[in-house]
Amino acid sequence: MDNRRFVTFLVCFFAFTFLYNGLIAPRLFPRPKKPPAIVENNEAAAPAAEAPADGPENTDPENTDPANDGQPAVAEGPSGEDPSGEPSVVADNGPAVFPHRQVFIGSLDPKNGFFLEVQLNTAGAAIESVQLSDPRFKELTNEEKQLTVVGTNSTDDRTFSTAVTTIDQQLAKHKLNLETIDWEVVASDDSSATFAFEAPDHSLRVEKTFRLQVADVPPEQMQKAFLTNAAGFTIEAELKVTNLSSEPQSFEYELQGPVGVVLENVEHTRKYRDIKIEFVGEEDDVVFGAKALGKLYEKHIGAARDAGQNLSGNQIRGKLKTSDSWTGVFRYAGVDVQFFAALVAPLDDRPEAERLVNKWIDRTYPVMVQEDRLDINQSDISFRMASSPQTLPATGDSIVHRFAFFVGPKRSELLDPKPMEADQVLDYGSWFGFIARGMHRLLSTFYGLGMPYALAIICLTVLVRGCMFPLSRKQAISAAKMKDLQPKINELKLKYGEDKEKMAKAQMELWRKHNINPLGGCFPLLFQFPIFIALYTCLNTAVDLRLAHFLWIENLAAPDALFRMPAALPILGQDFNLLPCITVVLFFVQQKMFMPPPADEQQAAQQKMMNFMTLFFGFMFWHMPAGLCLYFIASSMWGIAERMLLGKTSKSTAPDTEPSVTVKEIEAADSGPKKNGAQAKTPAKEKKEGFFQKLMAAAEEAQKQAEKTKDKQSKGKKKKGR
Q: How far apart are CA 305 and CA 36, in angstroms?
A: 21
What is the per-residue pLDDT for 300? 92
486 vs 130, more confident: 130
Q: How far apart are CA 600 and CA 490, in angstroms?
A: 9
Pairing of strands 126-132, 249-251: unpaired
Q: How far apart are CA 654 and CA 516, in angstroms?
A: 10
CB under 8 A, 24+ apart: contacts of 483-487:
483/596, 484/654, 484/655, 484/657, 485/510, 485/511, 485/514, 485/516, 485/655, 485/657, 486/596, 486/597, 486/599, 487/659, 487/660, 487/661, 487/662
Question: In which band, very low, low, confident or very high, does the pLDDT at 430 lie, cut at 50, 70 and 90?
Answer: low
Of these ranges, 17-26, 60-69, 122-131, the one predicted with the greatest mean pLDDT is: 122-131
What is the per-residue pLDDT for 369? 94
Q: Is the pLDDT of residue 649 over 60?
A: no
User: What is the number of other CB atoms lying within 10 angstroms of the CB of residue 722?
Assistant: 4
Mean pLDDT of 139-157: 92
CB under 8 A, 24+ apart: contacts of 127-132:
127/151, 127/158, 127/159, 127/160, 127/210, 127/235, 127/405, 128/102, 128/158, 129/260, 130/159, 130/235, 130/342, 130/407, 132/233, 132/407, 132/408, 132/409
Q: Is the pLDDT of residue 663 over 60?
A: no
- What's at 331, amino acid-wise? R
What is the per-residue pLDDT for 570? 81
Sorted by where each begins, the domain ranges of the chain are: 38-75+97-427, 439-653
Q: Is the pLDDT of residue 2 over 90?
A: no
**Torsion (CA) 351, 355, 356, 361 in degrees, nearest 10:** -160
Q: Exposure string (b/e) for 574-587, b if CB count within 10 Å is 16 or more?
A: ebbbbbbebbbebb
CA separation, residue 365 to residues 256, 370, 376, 717 (Å)? 10, 16, 19, 83
Q: Is the pLDDT of residue 16 over 50?
A: yes
Question: In which band, very low, low, confident or very high, does the pLDDT at 709 lie, cut at 50, 70 and 90?
Answer: low
What is the per-residue pLDDT for 366? 96
Q: Is the pLDDT of residue 438 over 70?
A: yes
Pairing of strands 116-121, 102-106: antiparallel
Q: Is the pLDDT of residue 241 over 60?
A: yes
Q: Is the pLDDT of residue 11 over 80?
A: no
What is the per-residue pLDDT for 623? 83
Q: What does the angle CA 609 – CA 578 – CA 620 come to, to the nearest 5 degrees?
A: 40
| CA-based nearest residue to 127, from 239, 257, 232 | 257
Question: In which band, very low, low, confident or very high, does the pLDDT at 362 lie, cut at 50, 70 and 90?
Answer: very high
Residue 390 parent element (H or E): strand 390-392
What is the per-residue pLDDT for 206? 96
User: What is the number of other CB atoms lying within 10 angstroms of the CB of residue 179?
Assistant: 28
Q: How far apart are CA 305 and CA 256, in angstroms?
A: 28
**Torsion (CA) 79, 84, 89, 95 in degrees, nearest 10:** 40
Mean pLDDT of 382-398: 93
Q: What is the mean pLDDT of the chain?
A: 78
Q: What is the pLDDT of residues 175-201, one digit of tens each?
A: 999 999 999 999 999 999 999 999 999
Could you tell me if 587 and 614 are in contact, meaning their C-beta atoms sit under 8 angstroms apart?
yes
Q: Would you identify the CATH topology of the domain 38-75+97-427?
A: Beta-galactosidase; Chain A, domain 5 (2.70.98)
Mean pLDDT of 423-431: 79
Question: What percentage of the chain carries pLDDT values higher than 70?
Answer: 73
Question: In which band, very low, low, confident or very high, does the pLDDT at 236 lie, cut at 50, 70 and 90?
Answer: very high
Question: In which band, very low, low, confident or very high, does the pLDDT at 88 lie, cut at 50, 70 and 90?
Answer: very low
Q: How far apart are CA 489 and CA 484, in angstroms?
A: 10
For residue 564, the 8-state DSSP code is E
Q: Is the pLDDT of residue 91 over 60?
A: no
DSSP letter for each residue of 187-234 = EE-SSEEEEEEE-TTSSEEEEEEEEEPPP-S-GGGHHHHHHH-GGGGE
Q: How far apart are CA 696 and CA 701, in angstroms?
A: 9
DSSP letter for each residue of 611-653 = HHHHHHHHHHHTTS-HHHHHHHHHHHHHHHHHHHHHHHHHHHH
Q: How far apart are CA 644 and CA 524, in angstroms?
A: 18
Q: Is the pLDDT of residue 667 over 50?
A: no
Mean pLDDT of 282-311: 91
| Strands of the 116-121 sheet, one edge to the other | 102-106, 116-121, 126-132, 148-150
492 vs 368, more confident: 368
Q: What is the pLDDT of residues 51-67, one digit of tens each?
A: 333 333 333 333 334 33
Mean pLDDT of 509-530: 70
Q: Is the pLDDT of residue 70 over 50?
A: no
Mean pLDDT of 424-433: 79
Q: What is the pLDDT of residues 208-228, one digit of tens each?
A: 999 999 988 888 888 889 998
Mean pLDDT of 562-569: 85
Phi, psi of 448, rounded to the nearest 5 degrees: -65, -20
Q: Is the pLDDT of residue 118 over 70?
A: yes
Q: How far apart are CA 718 and CA 447, in angstroms?
A: 83
Least confident of 23-37, 93-107, 610-624: 23-37
What is the per-residue pLDDT for 683? 43
Q: How many Cα atoms sit within 13 Å of 200 on the Cβ side?
A: 22
Q: Is the pLDDT of residue 666 over 60?
A: no
Mean pLDDT of 654-663: 43
Supply the Cα-derived Rg of the chain in whole angstroms.
36
User: What is the number of other CB atoms lying within 10 angstroms of the CB of residue 512?
Assistant: 11
